[in-house]
Chains A and B, each alone.
Chain A
Amino acid sequence: MSFEAGDTVELLNELPEAFLAVTELGEVLFVNRALTALTGYDADDLVGKDISTLLPTPERRRVQVIEWFGRWANDPDSEQLRYLNLELLTRVGDTKLVSVRVSKHDIQDKPCFLVVLRDVTTQHETMAALRHAQLVTNRILAIGEDAILSVDSEQKLIYWNERAAQLFGYSESEIIGQPLSRLLPPNMSVDHSDLVTSFTAGKVASRMMGERGEIFGVHRDGRRIPLEASITKTTIDGQTVLSAQVRDITERKLREQALVASEARFRAIFEYAVEAMVLLSPDGRVLEINPAAKALLPDFEASKYFWELDWWHEQADPQVVQQSREGLRESVGRCLAGEVIRVRTHLGGTREVDFSMLPVNDADGRVVYIIAEARELNATGDHA
C-alpha cells in the first residue's frame, strides 16, 4: 500500500473522520481532507513533517505521542485508554482536544500508525461546565440548613445531605439504597407510601412546605421528629426521582408552646387583676382592656383612644369632662416621651380616679406600649 493518488487515497479523503498515517519515527506520511479541514493546514504543510507539528508534547504534561500511539495500537479496544485525549495544534495556533483510535500497519515495509482523530473539544467543555455546575450545586445542597433527600421510583433513598444525616442519625453510606419507610413511623409508612405513589402519578410538580401540614419522621434512636417538607418530582426517561426538603420543626413547636403558655400567664394576670388595666399603643389607642377596667365603665363600648373611654359620671359637668379628656390625652403624650404619669381625675359627683401610665420600652428604648391603670377613690381620697 502507498499514499500515491488512487482509489485508496480517494476513499480516505472521503472519510468523514480526520485521518493520518505516521511512521514509528513520527514522520507524517498522509493526512486526509477531513484532517486538513480540522487543522487548517494543507496536506503539503504536514506530509514529511514530524507529528509534533500537529500533536506536540504538551508543555505541562509528559505525553510522548508516538509512544502512546504504540500503546493504543497494541490495545485498540482497551477501556483503560478510552478516556485519554490529545491536544491538537491547528495552523492558527488554537488547541483542540481530540480522541484518537490507532492501529498499526506496514506501509512499504515500514511499520506505521494509522490514526483517526475526533474533535471532542465542545463535548469536553460542555462536560466540564456541567461538572462544575453540579459541584457548585452539590456543595450548596450539602451545607443546606434543611435536610434534603431523594428517592427513586421504588422509594429507595438515592440522595442524602449532611443535614439529613444529622436530623435522622444515619450517615450517607448507611442510608443510600434503604427504603424511605425507614425514616417514617411504622403506623404512617403505608399511608405515606400511598401518598408518594399518588404524588408521583399526579400532575402537580411540587408541593411546598406547609401545604401538607405536619408530618413525622423517626430518628435512628426511635425518637419521633415533627417535620415540615417540600417535595418535587423529576421524571427523566421514565424514571421518577422524588426529592424532599425537610425541616425539623421541634424547636418551632417548643417556641409556639412557650408562647401559648406565656400568653396564658399574661391573660391570667390581666384578666384577674383587681386593678383596672388598659394596654395602649404608643399613640394612645386601646389594645386590651381588662374586666376590672370594664367594671369602672358600665356602658363600655370599644373606643379608639384611651381618653375617649367613658370614665365620667353621666351627670358630670361636660366642660370638666372635656378638660379631663384633654388632660389624659396630654398625659399619654408625656408618657410616650418616657415619663411615668400619675394623675387624679374627677369623674363627677364624689367619684375620683387615680390614673397611672407607664411606658414599656423595647430593646432599643422605643416606647412600644403604654400600660394605663385606673384606681377609683372614694370621697375621702382612699382607695375604694
Chain B
Amino acid sequence: MPKVVFIEANGTVHEVVASAGTSLMQAAVSHMVPGIEGDCGGLCACATCHVYVPDEWQAKCSAAKELEQSILDFAFDVNENSRLACQIELGDDLDGITVTLPERQY
C-alpha cells in the first residue's frame, strides 16, 4: 500500500495511502484531492491529471510514452517534470512519492 503525497499549487498537502496497481490519478480522485480532475477516467486523453514529478522520483516512474507527451500539449504550465498522473502506476517502489499540482487543469 504505497503512500502518496500530493501538494496543491497553494501548498496544501494531501497524504493518502493507495492500493498498489492503481494509478496516481486514481489515488488522487478516490481520495478527493482537489486539483486533479481525470475527466477521461484514465485514458490518457484529457490532460486534466497533470502533475509535476520531482527529479528524484522521475527515474522510478515508467517513462512517458509518445501519446502522453503529446497530450501534455493541452496541459497548463508544462515543464520537464510534467507527467499525466493516470500514466503512473503505483507500486511499492513508489512508496512515499511526492508530486506537486499545477495551478489549473482547465
Report yes or no: A173 in contact with B19, Cβ–Cβ below 8 A: yes
Report yes or no: B44 in contact with A62, Cβ–Cβ below 8 A: no
Report yes or no: B75 in contact with A61, Cβ–Cβ below 8 A: yes
Chain A residues near B75 (CB-CB < 8 A): 61
| Chain B interface helix/strand/loop/mixed | loop
Chain A interface residue count, CB cutoff 8 Å, equals: 22
Report yes or no: A124 in contact with B46, Cβ–Cβ below 8 A: no
Q: Is A80's beta carbon under 8 Å from chain B?
A: yes
Report the Cα distance A172→B29, complex, angstroms.
13
Among listed A134-142, A215-223, A224-232, A291-299, interface-contacting one = A134-142
Using an 8 Å CB-CB cutoff, how does the interface string of A107-140 with B read, 1 for contact, 0 for none?
0000000000000000010001001000100110
Q: In angstroms, how far is the closest chain B Cβ from the Cβ of A323?
A: 75
Chain A residues near B39 (CB-CB < 8 A): 83
Given A62-B78, A63-B73, A173-B19: A81 and B45 interface contact (C-beta under 8 Å): yes
Q: In angstroms, how far is the closest chain B Cβ from the Cβ of A74?
A: 12
CB closest chain-A residue, reference B106:
A128
Report the Cα distance A110→B48, complex, angstroms.
36
Q: Is B96's beta carbon under 8 Å from chain A?
A: no
Q: Is A68's beta carbon under 8 Å from chain B?
A: yes
Chain B residues numbered 3-42 whose CB sits less than 8 Å from any CB in chain A: 19, 30, 32, 34, 37, 39-40
Chain B residues near A68 (CB-CB < 8 A): 73
Report yes or no: A84 in contact with B34, Cβ–Cβ below 8 A: no
Report yes or no: B32 in contact with A135, Cβ–Cβ below 8 A: yes
Q: How many A-B residue pairs have CB under 8 A?
A: 46
Report the Cα distance A68→B47, complex, angstroms.
14
Chain A residues near B106 (CB-CB < 8 A): 124, 128
Report yes or no: A84 in contact with B32, Cβ–Cβ below 8 A: no
Q: In angstroms, how far is the closest chain B Cβ from the Cβ of A259?
A: 39
Using an 8 Å CB-CB cutoff, how does the interface string of A74-101 with B read, 1 for contact, 0 for none?
0000011111100000000000000000
Q: In angstroms, how far is the closest chain B Cβ from the Cβ of A55?
A: 13
Q: Is A53's beta carbon under 8 Å from chain B?
A: no
Chain A residues numbered 44-87 whose CB sits less than 8 Å from any CB in chain B: 60-64, 68, 71, 79-84
Report yes or no: B30 in contact with A84, Cβ–Cβ below 8 A: no
Report the Cα distance A62→B76, complex, angstroms.
8
Report yes or no: B78 in contact with A80, Cβ–Cβ below 8 A: no
Which of A83, A131, A139 has the most chain B CB within a 10 Å cutoff? A83
21 A-B pairs (CB sep. < 8 Å) = A60-B77, A61-B73, A61-B74, A61-B76, A62-B72, A68-B73, A80-B44, A80-B67, A81-B45, A82-B45, A83-B39, A83-B43, A83-B48, A84-B47, A84-B71, A84-B74, A124-B106, A128-B106, A131-B37, A135-B32, A139-B32
Chain B interface residues toward A at CB < 8 A = 19, 30, 32, 34, 37, 39-40, 43-48, 67, 70-78, 106
